[in-house]
Structure 1
Amino acid sequence: MVADLSGRKIDLSEREVGTEQPLDAELAREQAYLAESRAALTRMIDTARYRVATGAAIAGDRYTAETLGRMLRSQAKALAEEPDSPLYFGRLDFGDTPAAGDHRGERYYIGRRHITDPAGLPRVLDWRAPVSRAFYRASRGEPEGVAVRRRFGWHRVPDGPAQLTGFEDEPLTTSAARLAATEPADGLSRLVTAEIERPRIGPMRDIVATIQPEQDTLVRAELHESVCVQGAPGTGKTAVGLHRAAYLLYTYPRQLKRTGVLILGPNRAFLHYISAVLPALGEVDIAQHTVDELVDRHPVQAVDTAEAAAVKHDVRMAEVLRRALYSRIRAPEEALVVPDGSYRWRVSAEALRRILHEIRQADLPYGLGRERLRTRIVGRLQRHAETREAPGPGWVRRMSRCRPVNELLAGIWPAVRPEELVAELLGDPDLLAGAADGVLDARERAAIRWTVPRTAKRARWSAADLLLVDEVAGLIERPTGYGHIVVDEAQDLSPMQCRAVARRSTNGSLTVLGDLAQATSDWATRSWDEQMAHLGKPDASIVPLTVGFRVPASVVELSNRLLATLAVDVPPTRSLRHDGELRVDPVVDVDPATVAAVTAALRQPGSIAVICTDRRAPALTAALHHAGIASTTIDRPDAGTARVTVLPATLAKGLEYDHVIAVEPAEIVDAEPRGTHRLYVVLTRAVSRLDILHTRPLPAALVG
């Protein structure tokens, strides 16, 4: 049954069919439950804030006070996030059957976070709780003990709590044949459809109320599993990755609070767009970076040529750097002699070479191998000294740092700073030729060689140079890793960028999200198997998502025409949305045509994006300004709240807008080597309406 506060009712089941009085009474009961739940949440927030205020006073020492304060502040912040959003979106009524198990006859409300009453009894269950799984997975074929699934409709009002406007019941134990005539044609409930299609302005929202079964399977994958999602536009792949991060933090709090979770996005604009999702789900302590920020040891002050960048991003550079680093190790030619009072301890050159060989065979990080060599040498000295007397810890420390041992190490296994090695390699043609022999040809070596050699302190680093520095740093010492990393738009990562991510996930798992059809970088992958190998997870499952819930069918059908020209093996998207609008307009002048299109779009609700080439963006911004239409750009502080955004095509990836005005598709295609991929991205940013304005002929694949 679907009900709203106007008294309208649509019969979807045998439950509660009759007069409006029982319906009104049920709505009143739901509103009373909502009021009690809001009061319970207010008490929880007040209690958390009181604990923050008093936590320091009850701590035994300064460290404990800081740790406790940080934990309590995090809890209070998580509870207070989005206080006016709906407290819950669903209800589960379990039946009186064996399949219900321990939940027989129970009723649970499902929301974004756990809410308890003063006695500690749950009023709302977190969507990540085990019992909540049935809300997303239960079906008429497999009800999992659920008798009725209820979804709630909400109306969001400015500066006030969301208002409960109705509910929809889905009986799961009634014969499917009996209900087939009333089931929506697309298989989605009316409230789910309304939530998916709701216009939006500002950052991305969570999809916790509308997660579909195939998405939920990915979200609830185990922590040890690495998963790659090949997601077509509008299939919710980004949301799946973010919700999986939130689910894992809830399910494995001890492991992940210690090791952390990292979200990697393609650029800052994208990270800003998704920034509100995790706090809305109750998770406020998750790191969010770009790959460039991950390896940001120095400011970027130089720009590589296209050829140099391509070589530096190539996986072969890892072998060049490894050779350059380990070529510094030299076999000892003389014995080590260490004075110790009236004694002189000696380790022969043959013994030193044997120790060195054994450590090299262990394939340890360079820095760890160097310290292992020091330890083994001192151990040999200690065995000599034990013939006289047992040396203590102080003797061992003194021998470890004595001048002869330090000089030996400096000669056979020298300490190396990553920046120094990269600067020497790129600045010394002979060193580069030796390390790259048989790996890079003469032209490639010339492309990456610095024309003016510089020391590490005087170097002007490019973004690709910092990837090389990070590679060397990883060879010397393994970086601190994360328990789980979500990598979005992963199809555009180069092999060397993938290696930077893999180093930080050696003992953790990955959720890799992307779409090969949207690959636009010069080094983008054409194979997920190859990309997952570079990411260090060659055995990860690769799961396609092909059913779109956001992009309308008319837009999907148009953009699918481009797939045959993209030289990638991806299935076409199928959309469940049939309410979209598509207009393709040849125009004489795109500036006034864009102004007219934006003016018309402003008459309808939702966000608007004018997407064009980077070069054309300033002119269109000026045209809108002269017409009195306020607009913003994606990098401005008001980008999250403005209705109209002028968006360069190179920054469009991952973003969504209710109404997109794509200007001059042929220009977008011609602007870069993978311009057709970029156009595919641009067209699929529209989630309700798409206007295409052009003076030049459209790309051939779109004609017709």
Structure 2
Amino acid sequence: MENEFQSAYQEEQHRLSLAMEEIDRRLERLRNTPVYTGHDFTEQVLESAREEKRQALAKSSQEPYFGRMDFDERGRGQRKPLYIGKIGVEREETSAYPLVIDWRAPIASLFYSFTGGEETAFYEAPEGTIEGLVYLKRNVVIRKRILERVADTYNRESDEPAVSDEFLVYRLGENKDNRLRDIVSTIQAEQDQIIRAAKNTALVIQGVAGSGKTTVALHRLAFLLYQYKDQVSADKMVIFAPNHMFLDYISDVLPELGVGDIQQSTFADWALDLLGLDLPLADPAETLSYWFESGSLREESMDEAPGRFKGSVHFMELLQAFVERLEPISVPEGDFSPWDGAVLPRAEILNWFNEEYKPYPLAKRKERVLARVHRWIEMELKKSPSAAALKERKKKAGAREKAYAKKWPQYDALTLYKQLFQAAKGLPADTAAEMKASLPTAIFKATQSDLRKQIIREEDLTALVYLHVLIHEVESSQRFDHVVIDEAQDFSPFHIALLDLFVKGHSFTILGDLSQGIHEYRGVHAWEEMSSLFAPEHTGYFALTRSYRSTLEIIEFANTILEQGVRGGITAVPVFRSGDPVRTISYDSSVREQSLLTALKELSSREYRTVSVLTRTLKEAVELHEVFTSAGMDVNLIDGGKKQYEGGLSVLPVYLSKGLEFDAVIVADADHEHYGERAWDAKLLYVGCTRALHELWLLHDGSLPSYVQAQTK
């Protein structure tokens, strides 16, 4: 076997040298070609293409490919070695296959979908189904032009057993830095199926913690841009992520895949920008306790939570009915007279509003009617008998036109939302009473109180954007070609139905984990709440159950929390990568801070790039940060306001850790006081535990929740 490995290594070293020689030669030629800076359009296009090739070849020159597959296409009778890379590189001479095949190309799908066996393999190409035999599937690791590793995961002609997971486990065992990495070289068959799914589909992905669902979604964007390059553009795609720090954490993946200009935002930022509002939102971490204190939420009735109601399609329909009731009361009472003797009958204005401009939404109808009134005034002014009369009439008309415009309703989303909850005047009494009766009393009172204090909560934003759409409509410039929603379990059906108004062809990638639904007072409890919004032919569902992040010990420990604390959570199937046992460390409450400091010092002394301390609340994170820095440790505080994840040592509340991963994790205060017996307490602790790749420690005062099993070292 050693000789076989040496032979494979030497073969790949020779092939790498040849590939780099050709790439370097072409890159040098392009770099020596003078850059065109003139104004000829054709030459500008050619220069743009040359620059694109320069950048692609520069990237390829460092790590040209990561995989090899020997394939004999049926009917050709010739076995060809195909090399797969992040960026395709064509050969200069005519050849059946490129020097490097882009991982998104149809034939490259074989590298991911073929998992061994003697049967015929196939892939879907534009010309139809292509069949053949796979003789060899090989992973290679090239870093900075140096061949570091060769691993065969399938060899038809070898007697050695397949080691399909060996290369994957090797890559998973690497330490974590402060950025999410691409997984092009380790995409698994079930992940590849999601990445290559058809564009005009609302794809729902249930992925357990560490299943790579976020990375899969990012690779899907890169694939869609490759496969549908004439139909979609990067600047018309958007990723909605839970917070700014998470956006920074994933920011390197798309550029590494050769894709830029994709919009990245939180839903809150996008909504506030669309609405033109500059308002601080209430802290989401405080909202749950707020609803409890207001009496509008009971622990045993999460389905009746305010966020669940405001996130329902029923509330969406209620808002539509509300706007429809505004139509009959939009045009002010009485005729319009710009000066004595000139009258524009209200009946004529009503005809414009209700008939001629009926296809338009309310705000545009108002705008067009007032413009029509202005034109009528100008026409009447032309009938003035003298210059003096014209001057006098212009003066009066200007004042009366402004006064008349002020009589019309103010069509902006926040004003209407306040009217709905009777926090502002403007509705007829019967309409106000009818709308009030359609809203749950506790929610009505709590929201009314919020709006009077100028408080807007995240669950209000969906309604505000929808009101904006109803009165203004969606502009073509606001439409997306594709929408990715990460941590979608914290979104609502209303979110999805609203965003569907902004996306072409129901083109969604919706991903999350119901077991991590720590905001269940506003999120979904089942994916059917979202998928049912679309026709069956426009939806797809995938479940990713294998976890590639954590060690076997960490995953089994976290699964127990779900099984005993949530009773219904979706547990993970680990990739066999064993590590240190999970530690539950008890301390006396009088030495809590010293115990946490000692634990952090011990883990930070090891060869880990990222270590985090997770607290239950932001207040506790701030306090511990002061303890650690006072002890001379360089620790980053992550408080929700940060836009960058620094890596290294961090302290943060557990609810901000979703989507992130660390080499080692310390869960502070994993006791009964901080994590009670409620299902969402268990989910929150599960989120914290599943952030760890290699080591997990839980420190507590001796009173562990019932769903946490004490571990001995």
Q: TM-score, normalised to structure 1's length?
A: 0.77
Whether the aligned pair in 2 keeps the contact of 1:246 and 1:278 (CA below 8 Å) is yes
Q: Determine the C-alpha separation between the residues in 2 that align with 1:519 and 1:189.
A: 30
1:148 aligns with 2:135: yes
Partner of 1:468: 463
Partner of 1:267: 243
More deviation in 430-439 or 283-292?
430-439
Whether the aligned pair in 1 keeps the contact of 2:547 and 2:575 (CA below 8 Å) is yes
1:298 aligns with 2:277: yes
More deviation in 573-582 or 431-440?
431-440
Q: Determine the C-alpha separation between the residues in 1 that align with 2:534 and 2:271.
A: 15
Q: Determine the C-alpha separation between the residues in 1 that align with 2:361 and 2:94.
A: 51
More deviation in 483-492 or 366-375?
366-375
1:321-373 CA-partner distances (Å, limit 9, x unpaired) = 3233222212899999999xxxx9999889949x948987x8x7545777999
Partner of 1:599: 601
Q: 1:656 to 1:665 in 2, by over 3 A?
A: same
Partner of 2:626: 622
Q: Determine the C-alpha separation between the residues in 2 that align with 1:246 and 1:688.
A: 30
Q: Determine the C-alpha separation between the residues in 2 that align with 1:629 and 1:366.
A: 59
For 1:310, give the aligned amino acid: P
Q: 1:169 to 1:281 in 2, by over 3 A?
A: same
Q: What is the SS of the residue equivalent to 2:87?
A: coil
Whether the aligned pair in 2 keeps the contact of 1:302 and 1:461 (CA below 8 Å) is yes
Whether the aligned pair in 1 keeps the contact of 2:625 and 2:651 (CA below 8 Å) is yes
Q: 1:196 to 1:9 in 2, by over 3 A?
A: farther
1:241 aligns with 2:244: no
Q: Determine the C-alpha separation between the residues in 1 that align with 2:682 and 2:414.
A: 38
1:251 aligns with 2:227: yes
From 148, 152, 157, the counterpart of 1:169: 152
Where does 1:34-113 land on structure 2 (aligned, <5 Å)?
34-36=19-21, 38-39=23-24, 42-43=27-28, 46=31, 53-59=35-41, 75=52, 79=56, 86-95=63-72, 97-98=74-75, 104-113=78-87
Q: 1:77 to 1:597 in 2, by over 3 A?
A: farther
Q: 1:262 to 1:85 in 2, by over 3 A?
A: farther
Partner of 1:434: 433
For 2:624, give the aligned amino acid: L
Gaps (5+ residues) in structure 1?
Answer: 2-7, 12-19, 378-401
* Cα offset, 1:520, TM superposition: 1.0
* Cα offset, 1:563, TM superposition: 2.1
Q: Determine the C-alpha separation between the residues in 1 that align with 2:406 and 2:27.
A: 67
Where does 1:532-571 land on structure 2 (aligned, <5 Å)?
532-533=531-532, 540-564=539-563, 569-571=568-570
* Cα offset, 1:438, TM superposition: 3.4
Q: What is the SS of the residue equivalent to 1:619?
A: helix
1:116 aligns with 2:94: no
Matched-pair identity in %: 25
Whether the aligned pair in 1 keeps the contact of 2:200 and 2:505 (CA below 8 Å) is no
1:206 aligns with 2:188: no
Q: What is the SS of the residue equivalent to 1:116?
A: coil
Whether the aligned pair in 2 keeps the contact of 1:45 and 1:80 (CA below 8 Å) is no
Q: 1:585 to 1:414 in 2, by over 3 A?
A: closer
Q: Determine the C-alpha separation between the residues in 2 that align with 1:671 and 1:276.
A: 39
Q: Determine the C-alpha separation between the residues in 1 that align with 2:436 and 2:279.
A: 29
Q: What is the SS of the residue equivalent to 1:93?
A: strand
Q: Determine the C-alpha separation between the residues in 2 that align with 1:23 and 1:259.
A: 43
From 303, 306, 317, the counterpart of 1:310: 306
Whether the aligned pair in 2 keeps the contact of 1:336 and 1:349 (CA below 8 Å) is no
1:684 aligns with 2:690: yes
Q: 1:132 to 1:461 in 2, by over 3 A?
A: same
Partner of 1:391: none
1:473-498 CA-partner distances (Å, limit 9, x unpaired) = 11121242211111110001134433
Whether the aligned pair in 1 keeps the contact of 2:139 and 2:185 (CA below 8 Å) is no
Q: Determine the C-alpha separation between the residues in 1 that align with 2:207 and 2:593.
A: 34
Q: What is the SS of the residue equivalent to 1:702?
A: coil
For 2:469, give the aligned amino acid: G
* Cα offset, 1:154, TM superposition: 2.9
Q: Determine the C-alpha separation between the residues in 2 that align with 1:273 and 1:559.
A: 24
Partner of 1:5: none
1:51-89 CA-partner distances (Å, limit 9, x unpaired) = 8x52553238xxx97x999x6699479638867852210
From 417, 427, 433, the counterpart of 2:412: 417
Q: 1:533 to 1:35 in 2, by over 3 A?
A: same
Q: Determine the C-alpha separation between the residues in 2 that align with 1:300 and 1:411.
A: 25
Q: What is the SS of the residue equivalent to 2:170?
A: helix
Q: 1:538 to 1:625 in 2, by over 3 A?
A: farther
Q: What is the SS of the residue equivalent to 1:295?
A: helix
* Cα offset, 1:578, TM superposition: 3.0
Partner of 2:129: none
1:249-301 CA-partner distances (Å, limit 9, x unpaired) = 11111211187211111111111111111111110111111110110131223
Q: Determine the C-alpha separation between the residues in 1 that align with 2:631 and 2:346.
A: 84
Q: Determine the C-alpha separation between the residues in 1 that align with 2:165 and 2:179.
A: 25
For 2:487, give the aligned amino acid: E
For 2:528, give the aligned amino acid: D
Whether the aligned pair in 2 keeps the contact of 1:550 and 1:577 (CA below 8 Å) is no
Q: 1:203 to 1:481 in 2, by over 3 A?
A: same
Q: 1:24 to 1:319 in 2, by over 3 A?
A: closer
Where does 1:210-609 land on structure 2 (aligned, <5 Å)?
210-257=186-233, 260-296=236-272, 297-301=276-280, 303=282, 306-307=290-291, 310=306, 313-315=310-312, 316-330=314-328, 352=351, 356=354, 365-366=361-362, 416-426=411-421, 427-428=423-424, 431=427, 433-434=432-433, 436-450=435-449, 463-476=458-471, 477-479=473-475, 480-505=478-503, 507-521=505-519, 522-533=521-532, 540-564=539-563, 569-581=568-580, 582-588=582-588, 589-601=591-603, 602-609=605-612
1:536-556 CA-partner distances (Å, limit 9, x unpaired) = 989522221111122222111
Partner of 2:389: none
* Cα offset, 1:570, TM superposition: 4.5
Whether the aligned pair in 2 keeps the contact of 1:612 and 1:663 (CA below 8 Å) is yes
Partner of 1:669: 675
* Cα offset, 1:129, TM superposition: 0.9
Whether the aligned pair in 1 keeps the contact of 2:609 and 2:647 (CA below 8 Å) is no
Over aligned residues, Cα RMSD in angstroms? 4.4
More deviation in 273-282 or 78-87?
78-87
* Cα offset, 1:702, TM superposition: 1.4
Whether the aligned pair in 2 keeps the contact of 1:329 and 1:414 (CA below 8 Å) is no
Q: Determine the C-alpha separation between the residues in 1 that align with 2:58 and 2:569.
A: 39
1:96-137 CA-partner distances (Å, limit 9, x unpaired) = 644xx6x94333211111223556873212100111111111
